Structure 1
Amino acid sequence: MKFAVKALVAVCLSSTMLSAPVFAGAADGSLVAAIQDADRSAENRARDAFRNPQQTLAFFGFKEDQTVVEIAPGGGWYSEILAPALKAHGTYYAAHFPADATSNYQKRSLAGFKDKIAKDARFEKTKLSEFAPLGDSAIAPAGSADLVLTFRNVHNWYMQKGDEAVLNAFKQFNTALKPGGILGVVEHRLPEARSDEEQQRSGYMKQSYVIAIAKQAGFELVASSELNANPKDTADHPKGVWTLPPSLALGEEDAAKYRAIGESDRMTLKFKKL
């Protein structure tokens, strides 16, 4: 598997290095309303400057009447935007940890998310589905989704189970999408000149690698954007990407320095199902 992926990386590298203009497409009205909703927590709103949700979702072609699947929503940062934006006219699937998850972290995360959608009216039409990178649960009915989204997740699958997990995850996305459907990927970006081995521990992934895996899973790269780029991030921190905000893994040690850098440099990639 690793040989096949590396071969594809070599093919994709030249296109990966091409710069793409920042996309500033028109935003859906329900999306703007969801982002500006006063019910969003102040902590979440403060991160908009780094995550650029309006511009990012517009880049991916988000519309309020779509069927959208969010992969591994965690505590629900993007869910807090997607669920209300799709509530009236679309369908929102939150593909969270499986019900039979064994790790305490996964159990707590899933329980917290279930509690959120049970108590918050913004989430009342959320469809909860299951996702595991090496699993086979349906994240949504096959061929039903207009848009599948994954935010800062690829490194987790790679660090835990390697190429096989990442490829299987992308194949699940392909299965859920309609023909011509869109996969949107945001991920911490490792500079191409750095060693591949750094992907195993840093939390950063090479853009060429993600493109190669997506192609192997049946996707075509439509566009890339620098919307979520951060040139201040050198991607070589003592505790990897978690050194930076919001984790600040070193605690108060050099915290001012890392706050000044901000959140990680990120690739933003738009793929189409072939």
Structure 2
Amino acid sequence: MNVVSKIKKNIKVASISSAVLLGTVTLLSACSAGNDAASAIDTVLADKARGESAVRDQYRHPKQTLEFFGLTPETSVVEIWPGGGWYTKVINPAVKEKGKYIAAHFPTFEGGSAFYERSFNSFKEKVATDPLYQGAEISQFHPTKLLDFAPENSVDMVLTFRNVHNWYIGGEDAAVESAFAGFYKALKKGGVLGVVEHRMPESLDQVENKRSGYMKQSYVIAAAEKAGFKLVATSEINANAKDTAQHPKGVWTLPPSLRLGDEDKAKYVAIGESDRMTLKFVK
């Protein structure tokens, strides 16, 4: 073998070794990030300060859900309409040191809902006094009137839990499509939109069951794709085969609302919380 051939061979071997090393480092880094995320979520879920919120973990599967969406301690995340903050108490502590949590809460503009205003003010008080909420940033969101809940192209993740039906009930297709367009605008390129929603069987009519609190999975996917998102994964983490989605008071017939009171209470408690779709989209 001449000198030139030997040099070429050595270069090729070195290149292959470098590629293998780089791949190993990348894999180890990904595993480390995954372990860090799982550890952060585990720590939060084990915190006794969560109180009675932990009882609902069996229905909401927060660890599996947040890992499915890809949450890490470095994630900048917006939660749309966090309400009382059930998920705030999980997400905010997990990201506040290295990432960011923004609560895009109910709107309080003049002439708006008194309920929204009370809920918003209650949430602000929790941020000021409860360690699990401290450090959270607060903005406001309305599906058609307040869409600048975060700067354009600024966040890694937007999450919304059981809210799409509210926008559909209040404003039908236009409100849902406007909301998803707002999410798309706030996310960075490659950012994740995570949606959990009460799931209506595809055999039922969405319009006829508008006020049931359930949405067809195909409808939600179509609305997100219309805004420019790509569906990258679905999960049955939050599925419940016992739920038919056909109840006298809609989804609120089931726990935790139990709108019928003691009427058939045992039956609905046995069903548990609703059947839910879990969808992951990317910008």
User: Do the structures match in fold with TM over 0.5?
Assistant: yes
- Deviation of 1:111 after TM superposition, in Å, equals 1.0
Q: What SS is found at the alignment partner of 2:231? A: strand
Q: Which has the higher helix share?
A: 2
Higher relative contact order (CA 8 A, sep 6+): 1
**In the alignment, does 2:241 pair up with 1:239?**
no
1:190 is aligned with what amino acid?
M
**In the alignment, does 2:240 pair up with 1:256?**
no
Q: Over residues 42-83 of structure 1, what are the superposed CA-to-partner deviations in whole Å (9 max), with x where a residue is unaligned? A: 2x1010000000000000000011100000000000001111
**2: distance between equivalents of 1:196 and 1:76?**
29
**1: distance between equivalents of 2:146 and 2:118?**
22
How large is the RMSD of aligned CA atoms in angstroms?
A: 1.2
Aligned counterpart, 2:134 = 124
- Deviation of 1:40 after TM superposition, in Å, equals 0.1
Identity %: 57
**In the alignment, does 2:85 pair up with 1:76?**
yes
Aligned counterpart, 2:168 = 158
- Deviation of 1:168 after TM superposition, in Å, equals 0.5
Task: Could you list the structure 1 runs, at least 4 aligned residues long, displaced by more than 3 angstroms after superposition.
Answer: none
Q: What SS is found at the alignment partner of 2:199? A: strand
Q: What SS is found at the alignment partner of 1:93? A: strand
**1: distance between equivalents of 2:215 and 2:209?**
5
- Deviation of 1:121 after TM superposition, in Å, equals 2.2
**In the alignment, does 2:60 pair up with 1:54?**
no
Aligned counterpart, 2:279 = 269
Aligned counterpart, 2:11 = none
**1: distance between equivalents of 2:131 and 2:56?**
23
- Deviation of 1:125 after TM superposition, in Å, equals 1.2
Taking the TM superposition and a 5 Å limit, the aligned residue runs for 1:11-160 are: 27-42=37-52, 44-100=53-109, 102-160=112-170
Q: What SS is found at the alignment partner of 1:40? A: helix
**1: distance between equivalents of 2:79 and 2:209?**
23
**2: distance between equivalents of 1:124 and 1:96?**
15
**1: distance between equivalents of 2:280 and 2:115?**
30
Paired residues in the alignment total 248
Given the two structures, how large is their TM-score scaled by the length of structure 1? 0.88
**In the alignment, does 2:228 pair up with 1:226?**
no
Given the two structures, how large is their TM-score scaled by the length of structure 2? 0.85
- Deviation of 1:29 after TM superposition, in Å, equals 1.6
Q: What SS is found at the alignment partner of 1:122? A: coil
Q: Is the 8 A contact 1:155 1:199 kept in 2?
A: no
Q: Is the 8 A contact 1:159 1:199 kept in 2?
A: no
Structure 1 unaligned segments of length 5 or more: list them: 1-24
**1: distance between equivalents of 2:145 and 2:192?**
21
